[in-house]
Structure 1
Amino acid sequence: MIKNEKIKASEVRLTGLDGEDLGIMPTLEALALARKYKVDLVCESLMSSPPPCRLVGAGKAREERDQAKKKAGPAKSKELRFTPEIEEHDYDTKKRQAEKWLQAGHSVLLTVKISGKQGEQAKALLQQLQADLKTAGRPRTGIQLSGRQAQVELESLT
């Protein structure tokens, strides 16, 4: 759900507080209308042009978002496995996969398989991944070194 200034479309199809159709108007005008009524401008879908948006009271928007999350069920978790000596291209590919999964609202378990004295190398790799993915997700757990693997779980920001 995209709200207020985060809507990047130049114009939107607007629906009022009571469900009445207000037509197509510039986004800035729709935002001014939302501020006037002290409500949020919420974009429902980016799949059409212009995107359909509606005016929603602040509490109601949050409530709808929470209901949608409950209806979707628990977030899925995906595990991505690495080795400490990962090539740059492989690292970029797995980082993109993790970012895509996080942006879809799921959590990602990053696991580095280690052998011997690679613990510090694995920890450094996980710290680098956390830093690279901070725009898409936040750590749910700290970096855990145990036995033959190091792990960290990231959850979606949405």
Structure 2
Amino acid sequence: MAVLLKRLTLQTSIGTYFSKHIVKPDPAQLSLTASTPKLLYLILAKGFSTDGDTHSEKRQKRKDAFTNTGRKISERIIHVLDEKGSDLGMMHRADVIRLMDKQDLRLVQRNASSEPPEYQLMTGAQIHQERLRLREQEKTNPKTGPAVTKELIFSSNIGQHDLDTKSKQIQQWIEKKYHVQVTIKKAKNAEQPGNEMDEIFNQILQTMPGIATFSSRPKAVRGGTACMCVFRPLSKKEAKAYRDSQETEGRETLNKDDRNKESDVLCQGL
């Protein structure tokens, strides 16, 4: 019994000692430790996200643009032109870098498909001017795909209200740079003159002055039971010519009115 009491007393003393001297962890440290797995998860998620692909695409676009290559020339031997466009022949990249440093020039890739690739030494001002020229060229000659064609089919005995609605729809498509194929079917048991459908096409075109014209003029289809044509937007040149002609007609009309007024005044004076 004495031995048992002695052991219990020893265990109690040891427990009291450790509870007093062992440092308890700070709650803030526990919180930080608990959040570590989440932080690790975010790092891994970022590593496998698609953002890297987006940045890679942006870098590729910048590389393909008209930019200064700098000193990072991937090819060992390249074909070099000087800032005036004169051919310097094949050069080792180390020699090109020395020439860039000596003359304070930049290096721009001109033709990546040639063997070896063709580069040109240029000043910063030349690169800027070339970029401006390329931008203006893109505005003047934008890349356009094949024209999209919309289609409308209706009968020749269409009412005026419905025809106005169809004409507005065609105009909306034309303003979006679509081509519009219109087919007018000859009404059954209708005694109409042969040019009736041509007049409908012309009426539609007259609702779009300075906007559209015939891409293909009206022609008989379906064995003569229908008539078809295609409207298209005016080109920039055609639209400008139309505006110029309208301005000329306006001036001529104004001058004619002025002459008539002068003539009337003279007649009244007599």
Alpha-carbon distance in 1 for matches of 2:136, 2:174 = 22
Alignment of 1:6-21 (within 5 A): none
Say which SS state the counterpart of residue 157 (structure 2) adopts.
coil
Alpha-carbon distance in 2 for matches of 1:138, 1:103 = 12
The letter for the 2-side match of 1:95 is S
Residues 108-133 of structure 1: CA deviation (Å, up to 9, x unaligned): 01111014653321111111112222
| 2:220 equivalent among 120, 123, 145 | 145
> What TM-score do the two structures reach when normalised by structure 1?
0.54
Find the counterpart in structure 1 of residue 153 from structure 2.
81
Structure 2 unaligned segments of length 5 or more: list them: 1-131, 236-270
Change (3 A) 1:133 1:110: farther
Alpha-carbon distance in 2 for matches of 1:149, 1:67 = 37
| 1:102 equivalent among 174, 190, 196 | 174
CA contact (8 A) 1:81 1:110 kept: yes
Find the counterpart in structure 2 of residue 64 from structure 1.
139
> What TM-score do the two structures reach when normalised by structure 2?
0.33
1:130 equivalent to 2:205? Answer yes
The letter for the 2-side match of 1:148 is T
Say which SS state the counterpart of residue 85 (structure 1) adopts.
coil
Change (3 A) 1:61 1:110: farther
Alpha-carbon distance in 1 for matches of 2:213, 2:207 = 11
Find the counterpart in structure 2 of residue 47 from structure 1.
none
Alpha-carbon distance in 2 for matches of 1:62, 1:93 = 39
Between Structure 1 and Structure 2, how many residues are aligned? 99
What's the RMSD between the two structures over aligned residues? 2.4
**Greater C-alpha Rg:** 2
CA contact (8 A) 1:111 1:149 kept: yes
Structure 1 unaligned segments of length 5 or more: list them: 1-55
CA contact (8 A) 1:105 1:157 kept: no
CA positional deviation for 1:65: 5.1
Which structure has more relative contact order (CA 8 Å, sep 6+)? It is 1
Alpha-carbon distance in 2 for matches of 1:62, 1:84 = 46
Say which SS state the counterpart of residue 166 (structure 2) adopts.
helix
Find the counterpart in structure 1 of residue 185 from structure 2.
113
Relative to its length, the structure with more strand (as a share) is 1
Find the counterpart in structure 2 of residue 27 from structure 1.
none
